């Protein structure tokens, strides 16, 4: 590389001119003038040595010049050339680390110089394949990072750096240094996001660090790391098992602290991770049940019912949950009934009875609701609806004597109405059912007897014309 040197006469005149300016301007400190002279002398000496290819001595002199005059770009440019030439010479001699250090310094001084940048880039990429004893992995990573910072679009450098960071991270992980393992693999993944191997290793690193955090008692931090691990490798059974366990354990703590909503959320996530885990399934059903029966006044009835229904989806055979849901629905039904919403109350009671058919309180309330509705229908003359509702009530509470009596009376009233319309057959049918329910009821018995007599008389009357026709023939 050719360097244009400044002649000594010109240098002397430049120094003299600088001194004259300093003496004329009182603001020019004597120390600054002296430094300028020293810097220029060092620069002159370094340039001369550089032209003689005495590179170590040239670098030393030029560094002194730049140290004394840090803003002098001319000095920096020539020092960069010296670093570059010396670095290339050391590289040929096999002193790679020192060579790369000098080439990197050259780039820092003149970052826009394409030739110097190219020399550094080529030297770094060639050094990647060197054995460890010639250039350590740590040094390779260091210089590749500088190259990537200098050339962010250099795909080859990024690939090499990602691979080295990956290998370095794995080694650190084996030694138990999981914080650095994760940090290196995060950098590697950002450099080569398409690498499945790096992704899997990062998932494992997150898993390793999470376990370390759990041992320290940092459960929330450990859980966050396990979630990251799971997002990178959903098929790893060890990660899935650890995440499900961490979620379940944290959920238990949430429940003990009274945060039932948080507990449910964590257990739902745990069940998604490990859908066949029987313990998590039972715990989630129990959490829903506990939320429903909690004393928290901020939990609405609708939320309590929804929680119990979710619990039953998980464990349909739970007698405790069925009983709780049945009682809760009954409570809501009573509220609706008192508010005048009889139909809604009946629907809630019917649903409550489906969940717990043996709930006597629900049976009695539903039977009463049916009974009251039936009486209202009967008073309005709608005996068919009255009978239908009383039948439902009696099915729910078959031993209730009052219901039997009222149903018998409804049959009787409807039968009498049908008899007046001439439907003697149906009249007898309903009066017979009425008497079965109330065999001691004298009125019903007499009505049935009269209906039967009426039917017999009709039958006899219907036969007379046939006998007359027979005689005329």
Pseudo-torsion of CA 25, 29, 35, 39, nearest 10°?
-30
CB 40 within 8 A of CB 14: yes
pLDDT, residue 246, reads 95
Residues above pLDDT 70, as percent of the chain: 91
Res 467: pLDDT: 52
Find tokens 């979620």 and name the residue.
247
DSSP 52: T
Check residue 472 and give its pLDDT.
46
| Burial 415-443, CB ≥16 within 10 A → b, else e | bbebbeeeebebbbebbebbbebbeebee
Residue 358 has pLDDT above 70, yes or no: yes
Mean pLDDT of the chain: 89
Model confidence band, residue 161 (pLDDT cutoffs 50, 70, 90)? very high
Of the listed ranges 170-179, 231-240, 295-304, the least confidently predicted one is 295-304
- DSSP states along 179-205: HHHHHHHHHHHHH-TT-HHHHHHHHHH
Per-residue pLDDT of 60-103, as tens digits, reads 999 999 999 999 999 999 999 999 999 999 999 999 999 999 99
- Dihedral sign from CA coordinates of 67, 68, 73, 78: negative
Question: What are 112-144's pLDDT values in tens digits?
Answer: 999 999 999 999 999 999 999 999 999 999 999
Q: What is the pLDDT of residue 465?
A: 60
Asked whether the beta carbons of 82 and 116 are under 8 A apart, the reply is no
pLDDT value at position 469?
Answer: 47
Q: What pLDDT score does 205 carry?
A: 97
- The mean per-residue pLDDT over the stretch 296-313 comes to 92
pLDDT of residue 458: 82
Confidence at residue 454, expressed as pLDDT on a 0 to 100 scale:
87
CATH 1.25.40.10 maps onto the chain at: 1-140
Sign of the alpha-carbon torsion through 96, 99, 105, 108: negative
Sign of the Cα torsion 35, 41, 47, 53 reads negative
Interval 282-290 mean pLDDT: 93
Q: Report yes or no: 325 and 310 within 8 Å, Cβ to Cβ.
A: no
Q: Which CATH architecture has domain 1-140?
A: Alpha Horseshoe (1.25)
pLDDT of residue 175: 95
State pLDDT tens for residues 4-49.
Answer: 333 333 333 333 333 333 333 334 455 588 999 999 999 999 999 9
| pTM: predicted TM-score of the whole model, two decimal places | 0.70
Instruction: Give the per-residue pLDDT at 11.
Output: 32
Exposure of 293 by Cβ count < 10 A (0-12 exposed, 13-18 middle, 19+ buried)?
Answer: middle
- Return the SS3 of 314: helix
Identify the pLDDT of residue 121: 96
Q: What is the pLDDT of residue 455?
A: 85
Q: Give the pLDDT band (50/70/90) at residue 3.
A: very low
Chain Cα centroid distance, residue 262: 13
pLDDT in tens, 370-384: 999 999 998 988 989
């Amino acid at each position: 590389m050719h360097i244009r040197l400044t002649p000594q006469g010109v240098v002397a005149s430049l120094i003299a001119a600088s001194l004259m300016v300093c003496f004329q301007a009182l603001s020019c400190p004597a120390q600054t003038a002296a430094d300028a002279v020293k810097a220029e002398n060092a620069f002159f000496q370094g340039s001369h040595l550089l032209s003689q290819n005495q590179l170590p001595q040239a670098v030393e002199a030029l560094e002194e010049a730049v140290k004394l005059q840090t803003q002098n770009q001319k000095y920096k440019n020539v020092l960069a050339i010296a670093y570059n030439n010396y670095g290339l010479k050391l590289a040929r001699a096999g002193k790679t680390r020192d060579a790369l250090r000098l080439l990197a310094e050259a780039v820092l001084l003149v970052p826009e110089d394409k030739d110097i940048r190219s020399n550094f880039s080529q030297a770094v990429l060639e050094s990647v394949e060197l054995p460890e004893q010639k250039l350590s992995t740590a040094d390779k990573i260091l210089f590749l990072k500088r190259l990537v910072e200098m050339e962010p679009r250099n795909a080859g450098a990024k690939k090499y750096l990602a691979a080295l960071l990956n290998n370095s991270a794995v080694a650190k992980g084996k030694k138990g240094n999981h914080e650095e393992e994760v940090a290196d693999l995060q950098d590697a993944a950002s450099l080569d996001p398409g690498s499945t191997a790096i992704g899997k290793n990062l998932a494992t690193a997150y898993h390793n660090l999470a376990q370390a955090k759990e041992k320290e008692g940092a459960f929330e931090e450990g859980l966050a790391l396990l979630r990251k691990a799971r997002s990178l490798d959903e098929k790893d059974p060890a990660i899935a098992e650890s995440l499900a366990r961490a979620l379940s354990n944290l959920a238990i703590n949430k429940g003990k602290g009274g945060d039932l909503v948080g507990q449910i959320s964590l257990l739902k996530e745990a069940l998604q991770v490990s859908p066949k885990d029987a313990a998590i399934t039972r715990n989630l059903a129990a959490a829903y049940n506990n939320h429903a029966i909690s004393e928290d006044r901020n939990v609405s009835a609708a939320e309590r019912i929804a929680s119990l229904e979710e619990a039953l989806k998980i464990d349909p055979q739970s007698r405790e949950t069925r009983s709780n849901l049945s009682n809760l629905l009954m409570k809501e039904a009573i509220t609706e009934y008192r508010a005048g919403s009889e139909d809604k109350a009946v629907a809630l009671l019917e649903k409550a009875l489906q969940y717990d058919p043996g709930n006597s309180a629900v049976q009695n309330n539903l039977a009463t609701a049916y009974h009251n509705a039936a009486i209202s229908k009967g008073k309005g003359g709608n005996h068919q609806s009255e009978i239908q509702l009383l039948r439902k009530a009696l099915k729910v509470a078959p031993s209730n004597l009052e219901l039997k009596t009222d149903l018998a009376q409804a049959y009787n009233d409807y039968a009498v109405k049908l008899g007046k319309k001439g439907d003697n057959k149906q009249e007898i049918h309903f009066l017979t059912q009425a008497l079965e329910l109330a065999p001691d009821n004298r009125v019903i018995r007499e009505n049935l007897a009269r209906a039967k007599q009426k039917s017999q008389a009709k039958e006899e009357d219907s036969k007379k014309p046939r006998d007359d026709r027979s005689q005329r023939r």
